[in-house]
A and B are shown apart, each in its own frame.
Chain A
């Protein structure tokens, strides 16, 4: 049984003779399949196909029915595990291949009450190992391996055999020929015919009788009177003659859609036969895990790189921005120094025209700020036009007049008291105070925000 498949597109690829043929179908939609045929050495053609055609990641393929032994069995079970166990026992008994080199696959055809009709296929590892080697060259492992005859039957069933019909189908493809007994929509016997194209009339009749016998032994109610002959190349001579009691219908295989389409349609069903070894699935799973790991690692490393490069880039961008601002600042230094000097000169010269901070005005400010009745005496006063004033003096008795004096001095617009010192003396308090021009403090605030 094949594993459940979730991806929406699937390519079925088949190597027949010198040709490669593939069909990609959308698993969710009906529609025309695309088929391309390539010629050349299998390895080169496959590499070319993978390189130039949009194949799905999962590839299915098929082996020739001539490499397999197929039989239809009726088993007293409906559980897949039970059926598997029964078929493994059966395979051990009837397999013509060594047990360690035998591959077995099956698919349920139909159920009757507690019985299930299954199609079992046995195969040697050898043809599958060849397939594995071929696909390994393009770095893939087929996700499912079907059997070519089943693909043809899928196509014939679709348009030429109804589900209520019984009949016999002859498939003559190249030097391979198969006979299939058909009962109500399902094959009940599939066997290889050796030299079918050269059958005599008698041999053909014998084959037909055997097939009919096999069909009727499994399904006594079967009533097969119709023989469909599907062939490529020349039509065998026996098919040209009418056959007593049999209705022979001759069709060319190339009137059917490509074989890969039939196989692809089978691949849509989750329970279709898959004869690929279990190790392939494990290998595929390992490959998928490795790929996922590499992708995730790449994603993480890529994301990390983007983050780091982005961060470093941003940092470089910021540094370059800083450099450009610093460059502008440096370029302006001389001009700014000139303006600063100019401003200083203007301020200095303003004293000659604007007398608001002149010595006279300042003395008047002090006189206004000093409390009356001689409670505060200024003993030493120093006025500097560029700095401010320094003064010292004394109070008689109470210290309050000094604070009142300072408060009034600071309340004015021209001066800001920066420090003072007060000491108690015999007559009262002696003090010392320093004040700067208000414009000096304003400038200092501007230059150090």
Chain B
């Protein structure tokens, strides 16, 4: 074993101390920097966790709500083409409210597999007074959960409330059921199953 003189020992200790401090500084500096990043990530992960937990706890409530809404939506026979029927319904409402439909284009039907629901849309251009528009929307609301305005465009170039024009997109959401079930519903209900909400 090498024998060190007190002076050499002191120098060795000072050198060791300086090395330890330098090493500590290097390690701690990197670690503290990493720790700052870690804190941010941890906070973000915890917030995400909280958000996920909250969302997941909402699932049963959402499913219940979805079922409730689905129950209120109209049901149509599986093989029935509904384009002309929806067009007739829109035209009928417009006639009742005094709104003039200048164009009417049905969109193709979409199917939402996860919800087992169908959606059809009708694009219309219109002209009329504010009173006839309000009347049309009012009549639409009175129909219940049959159709809803997805988009409405209104132009008032003259500044007068009786010369309005615009467009709207009307969504119809519904489910389809086998024809045999529709018959059964007709037997038990005084109104037609085609246009009446199920609930």
A residues within 8 Å of B by Cβ?
A: 286, 289-290, 293, 297, 300-301, 304, 308, 311-312, 315, 318-319, 321-322, 325-326, 328-329, 332, 335-336, 339-343, 345-346, 349-353, 355, 358-360, 363, 377-386, 393, 446-447, 449
Contact = CB atoms under 8 A, between A and B. Distances in A.
B1 to A, nearest CB: 12
A342 B145 CA distance: 19
Given A293-B13, A360-B134, A377-B159, A322 B41 contact: yes
Nearest to A328: B49
A315 B38 contact: yes
A342 B66 contact: yes
A339 B62 contact: yes
Contacts of A377: 156, 159
A27 to B, nearest CB: 30
Interface stretch (B52-60, B78-86, B99-107, B180-188): B52-60
Interface of chain A, main secondary structure: helix
B11 interface: no
B90 interface: no
Contacts, number: 148
B148 interface: yes
Contact of A322 (B45, B73, B141): B45
Interface in B15-36: 16, 20, 24, 27-28, 31, 34-35
Given A359-B168, A380-B155, A304 B115 contact: no
6 contacts: A325-B45, A339-B55, A349-B70, A353-B145, A381-B154, A385-B149
Nearest to A380: B155
B155 A336 contact: no
Interface string B166-199: 1010010100000000000000000000000000
Nearest to A342: B62
Given A336-B56, A379-B157, 13 more contacts: A289-B6, A293-B13, A301-B20, A318-B35, A318-B38, A343-B55, A346-B65, A352-B69, A352-B72, A358-B141, A360-B149, A382-B151, A449-B47
A446 B51 CA distance: 8
